[in-house]
Amino acid sequence: MTTTARRGRRPGAPDTRAAILAAARERFAEAGFGATSIRAVAADAGVDPALVHHYFGSKRDLFVASLALPVDPRDVLAPVIAQGMDGAGERILGTLLAVWDDPDRRLPLLAVARSLLDPSGHRLFQDGFLAAVLVPVLTELGIDRVEHRAPLLASQVAGLILMRYVLEVEPLASMPADDVVSVMGPTIQLYLTGPLP
């Protein structure tokens, strides 16, 4: 008795989710967030697009999952946003430092930060993190000119992460989080609410 190979898309299996995530990471890195579609990720993973939606929901949710972060930044920043604009810069910075200073989260976050320094990392950061995470969060906060303010905020936070956690430049690396917030928080607030050219 001869058997014929099954054709068509692979059914759901324990490794299907991992295959979708691998395809999404590669696609987001190569094409960026805007040019990546659920359909393209599904084709790369050899599954039906409905299965991608089943596992991950929206494209933004898929992007965040593909980063393999130990925490969803949208969930972490939600309480900050709920408190309104006044003092948001300090709260955003304090919240991010609390996440990074957690020893259980530090190594996975360092892996993500270092991957952004790879040649294709700029697409993940610019087209992905900015577009899929930061801009929606800041829009929910109600700030004006989000497309200008989000990169300014990201530049400050990315520089801080690079200097404090990746390169471990002193005295910033060992400075208490409250001191970092008191020094840099007003700059973050300025990016959120200050005048723009």
Closest alpha carbon to 77 in 64, 62, 59, 66: 64
* Domain match, 38 and 80 both: no
Domain membership flag for residue 11: no
Mean pLDDT of 83-91: 90
pLDDT band at 121 (very low <50, low <70, confident <90, very high): low
- CATH number at 34 reads 1.10.10.60
Looking at the structure, tell me whether residues 59 and 151 fall in a common domain. no
Q: Both ends of the chain: CA-CA distance in Å?
A: 76
Same domain, 51 and 132: no
Do 24 and 97 belong together in one domain?
no
Give the model's pLDDT for residue 6.
Answer: 39
Same domain, 41 and 78: no
Which range of residues forms the domain containing residue 154? 73-193
Q: How far is 65 from 69, CA to CA, in rounded Å?
A: 7
Mean per-residue pLDDT, 114-133 = 70
In a domain, residue 10? The reply is no
In a domain, 5, yes or no: no
Q: Are residues 77 and 105 in the same domain?
A: yes
As a whole number, the mean pLDDT across the chain is: 82
Instruction: Enter the pTM of the model.
Output: 0.67
91 contact partners, CB below 8 Å, separation of at least 6 = 80, 83
168 and 83 inside one domain: yes
At 106 the pLDDT is: 81
For 195, other C-beta atoms within 10 Å of its C-beta total 5
The domain that holds 122 is classified in CATH as 1.10.357
Total domains in the fold of the chain: 2
Residues 98 and 27 in one domain: no
